Amino acid sequence: MSHNLKEPIDPLPISSESYELKDRRKSSSLNQVDYLPQYSDELGKKKSRRGKSVVGVAKRTMDILVEHGVEERGIDPRPENERDELNKWTYLPQFTLWAAWNTNILSFSEGVIGPSLFGLDWKTSCLCIVFFTAASALPVAYCATNGPKTGMRQMVQARYGMGYGLALIYGILNCATMIGFMALTAILAGQCLALASNSTMSWDVGIVIAALIALILSFVGLKALHIVSLASFPVMVILYVVLAGVVGDKLHLVQSDVAKAATAVTASGVLGYGASLIGFSITYTSLASDFTTSLPPQTPSWKLFLCVYVGMIVPMILCQMFGAACQLAAYSIPDWETASNIGVPNLIYAMTGNGNGASRFVMVLFCLSVVANTAPTIYSAGLSGQVAIPWLVRVPRYFLALVVSAIYLPIAICGASKFYSALENFSSVLSYWSALYIPPTLIEPIIFRGPVSRKTYPVEFWNQIGKLPIGLAAIFAAICGIPVVTGGMAQSWWTGWIARKIEGTGDIAFEIGFVVVGLIYIPARYLERKFTGR
């Protein structure tokens, strides 16, 4: 029977159980939807707490390090209210830092290569050592005096004459320079420890041990470096005095007929050794004020100059002359000559007994002297890294010490078997880029920004590209200087047209490059300041 369409259709009866099932499904669906966001929020909170905990631990660790004396400040200028007080002991750490830096086996090695690589006799070696070292240390001592006046690290000061970009390039070169030097010093330290162990320890292990000790000191910062230098310098002075006393009766052989026959003084030898000596000392110019920014601005410049200058040249000259004398005497002593052909540490090892307890103890001390040289170099290399890669300013200084060590350590291990040739080539090449960098570094504060102060070097501009000089004068001077430097080079892999005109191909790249860059920079910088106002 059909229903009338106008009549209402009775709905099907639904039991109470159906309503309950529907309600449960609805409730279950709602709960499921509500539950998922709650779970996601909880997971996010856990991740957030985990991330915050990691960051928090890192920050707390850094705070603890700083509270316990680890230096955190990088290349940002040091305010005057964070400087040390000036007192009668202010200058002693500066003197001992530079003295300990250069009273080591590396300075001795630089003296050895005068006769061994360049064929110079005793008199000529000494004249070269005294003249080139004394002259090369002058820019270093002067630049050190500008640290207290500006509160800025050395490569940051370079921005005020060379501009942000060129200073960045020189920062890269400076890092490469210091990494190379640290590799050479680590090789020497590794050789010393290997000899101290009667060759039961390999060079590689010795290199790693010396590098770790230097890393710890540089990680802590300037205070640790001063403490180590205060302890290291007097010990090394005593060691050299005792060593000179032990071998003193053989040093008359420097003038023997055998020594004279083994040497032949030439213009190329003098100029080549001069280039090596210049590269050995003048490259300190790029880091001189890194260690003086903690001094107050009223620090007398002449006192600081003398501390740095004397601290450099006295130990450097004496150690180098002693090295030259020992090498010349070795030509008449077969055991010494055989050891010298292996390496400088072997020469000292043979001089002190060749295997007894005293010689092994001497090797340990010479290894520690290398650490006193490497640690401050790691310190400065990290600072130059912040100039070369500006975003590293956000990274704590002590972390960069780890990075620098991780770079130079494998280089030292790989190059351990070629120390002599590496030292000669590397030291000579170092002086070349210094010929482009040092003239503007000296001329800018002396002529254009003197007297140096925080007014002539506005601290607030230290990282502002738009306020710093463009660097056109320094760039132009460098472009003009590069062909001259290249022409004056005399290396085994390249001899320039200027060097070929000198008897026996002498190396005068630094000397002529320095003069040319300086003469061009002065008028070019005057014009740059006139037309740009910077």
- Beta carbons within 8 Å of 501's beta carbon, 6+ residues apart: none
Nearest partner of 286 among 488, 143, 114, judged by Cα: 143
Q: Is residue 380 part of a domain?
A: yes
Q: Is residue 250 part of a domain?
A: yes
Please tell me the predicted confidence (pLDDT) of residue 33: 40
Per the CB < 8 A criterion, the answer to whether 62 and 72 are in contact is yes
Q: Can you name the residues that pair with 485 across neighbouring β-strands?
A: none
Per-residue model confidence as pLDDT tens digits over 61-119: 666 766 656 788 889 999 998 898 888 888 999 999 999 999 988 899 999 999 998 99
Q: What are phi and psi of 337, to 5 degrees?
A: -65, -40
Per-residue model confidence as pLDDT tens digits over 129-178: 999 999 999 999 999 999 999 999 999 999 999 999 999 999 999 998 88
The confidence band for 43, taking pLDDT boundaries of 50, 70 and 90, is very low
Please tell me the predicted confidence (pLDDT) of residue 8: 42
- Work out the average pLDDT over 402-414: 89
Q: How many domains are there within the chain?
A: 1
- Work out the average pLDDT over 312-338: 95
Please tell me the predicted confidence (pLDDT) of residue 532: 92
Does the structure show a pLDDT above 90 at 502?
no
Q: Is residue 166 part of a domain?
A: yes
The confidence band for 197, taking pLDDT boundaries of 50, 70 and 90, is confident
Q: How far is CA 526 from CA 164, 184, 447, in A?
A: 18, 41, 10
Question: Can you give the CATH number for the domain in which 327 is found?
Answer: 1.10.4160.10
Q: Is residue 433 part of a domain?
A: no
Does the structure show a pLDDT above 70 at 524?
yes
Instruction: Kindly state the DSSP code that residue 297 receives in the 8-state scheme.
Output: T
Q: Is residue 477 part of a domain?
A: no
Please tell me the predicted confidence (pLDDT) of residue 424: 56
Cα 319 to Cα 528: distance, rounded to the nearest angstrom: 44
Cα 414 to Cα 203: distance, rounded to the nearest angstrom: 11
Q: Is residue 116 part of a domain?
A: yes
Residue numbers of the domain that contains 152: 84-418
pTM of the model as a whole = 0.85
Does the structure show a pLDDT above 50 at 437?
yes
Cα 387 to Cα 77: distance, rounded to the nearest angstrom: 13
First-to-last CA distance in the chain?
Answer: 107
Q: Can you name the residues that pair with 491 across neighbouring β-strands?
A: 494
Does the structure show a pLDDT above 80 at 419?
no
H-type alpha helices, 282-396: 301-330, 334-342, 344-351, 357-388
Cα 85 to Cα 82: distance, rounded to the nearest angstrom: 9
Per-residue model confidence as pLDDT tens digits over 258-270: 999 888 888 888 9
- Beta carbons within 8 Å of 495's beta carbon, 6+ residues apart: 489, 505
Q: Is residue 473 part of a domain?
A: no
Q: What are phi and psi of 430, to 5 degrees?
A: -60, -35
Cα 272 to Cα 114: distance, rounded to the nearest angstrom: 9
- Work out the average pLDDT over 480-494: 87
Per the CB < 8 A criterion, the answer to whether 481 and 513 are in contact is yes
Mean pLDDT (the chain, rounded): 84
Does the structure show a pLDDT above 50 at 126?
yes
Q: Is residue 195 part of a domain?
A: yes
- Work out the average pLDDT over 452-461: 92
Cα 241 to Cα 239: distance, rounded to the nearest angstrom: 5
Q: Which residue has the higher pLDDT, 112 or 51?
A: 112
Cα 140 to Cα 133: distance, rounded to the nearest angstrom: 11
Candidate ranges 3-12, 49-58, 64-73, 513-522; pick with highest mean pLDDT: 513-522
